[in-house]
Amino acid sequence: MARASSFAQKFVKSLSTLWSKRSNVLWSDIATCSVTLAMIKPDAVMKMGSIIEAIFDTGFIITKAKMVQLNRMEAMDFYSEHQSKSFFTDLINFMTSGPIIALEVIGDDAVSSWRKLLGPTNSCVARSESPGSIRARFGTDGTRNAAHGSDSIASAARELEFFFPSSGGRGPKNTARFTDCTCCIIKPHAVSEGLTGKILNEILSAGFDISAMQMFTMEKANAEEFFEIYKGVVAEYNGYLSDYPITEVCVQICNTHSSLESIKLGELKVGLNGFYRLCAGTATAPKCPQA
């Protein structure tokens, strides 16, 4: 397995039975699996839900995810192999024009399987030769083609290390703003059931912007700390904790309502209550003890 993290191996093993039932990949046969980088480019970030849904539906498991904004130096480093090409400047300008989403995906022959799902590099060609592919559905041309995939096992190892360093570094900075936003956690059962893309689509279609995203492992001790404010307040508290065994993952998303440009405190409260209603289907968020 190419540079698969120990977490990825544990994750796949723990979900092998579930995923073998809902996909065409037999996850119990770990030896056939490999990892690759899937990257959603700036032109398709608003389509992240549909792209992630396609990834799950094809049988991949997403084991890492991070939304980042590449600076010019980082983009040039990532695409250094294309430095002598005529399209290099346009490519760098495009890749630094907005946030991107880097994903570590694991599956059967991941590199070639993901590139097959991507389709031809030029989206115009993809629409005629592979109309169901990611680039045919969401891309525009040969540069603004929605997504990227590593072209070899060696490239996958280098590119995954770029975004998700194994040496303890952080890689490119995430896009979290921590202002005028709220936090949404997509819980492990929803992730393992392949519902992440559908949930992201619901958030976006409700008028919220997703300004940051990261997938991570949450142990029970972390869950207890995160949900401490709800202890003794909501009856579901113990259920919150049972959802977070060590091999499960969550996706953290900061959301800013798209219509709130010059935001006021009252407008922010309405926006947050609106997001709570979207998630929970109730009128207002539960009252918690004051800090």
Which residues fall in the annotated binding site for ATP? 41, 87, 115, 121, 135, 145
3-state secondary structure 102-140: EEEEEEECHHHHHHHHHCCCCHHHHHHHCCCCHHHHHCC
Which residues contribute to the annotated binding site?
41, 87, 115, 121, 135, 145
What are the E-state strand segments in 41-130?
61-68, 100-108
Residue tagged active-site, from 114, 148, 210, 248: 148
What are the beta bridge partners of residue 182? Answer: 255
8-state DSSP, 174: B
Instruction: Collect all residues with Cβ–Cβ distance below 8 Å to 118 and sequence separation of at least 6.
Output: 133, 134, 135, 147, 148, 149
Q: Are strands 208-217 and 249-257 parallel, antiparallel or unpaired?
A: antiparallel
d(CA 99, CA 166) in angstroms, rounded, equals: 22
Q: Are 76 and 83 in contact (CB under 8 A)?
A: yes
In one letter, which amino acid is 273?
A: N
Strand order across the beta sheet in which 182-186 lies:
147-149, 33-40, 100-108, 61-68, 208-217, 249-257, 182-186
CA-wise closest residue to 57 among 26, 101, 23, 95: 23
Distance between start and end Cα atoms, the chain: 47
Assess whether 148 carries a catalytic annotation.
yes
DSSP letter for 106, please.
E
Cα separations (Å) of 24 from 6, 11, 27, 28, 161? 23, 18, 9, 12, 28
To the query of whether residue 257 is one of the catalytic residues in this protein, the response is yes
Q: Which of 63, 257, 271, 275 is catalytic?
A: 257
Q: Which residues form the catalytic set?
A: 148, 257
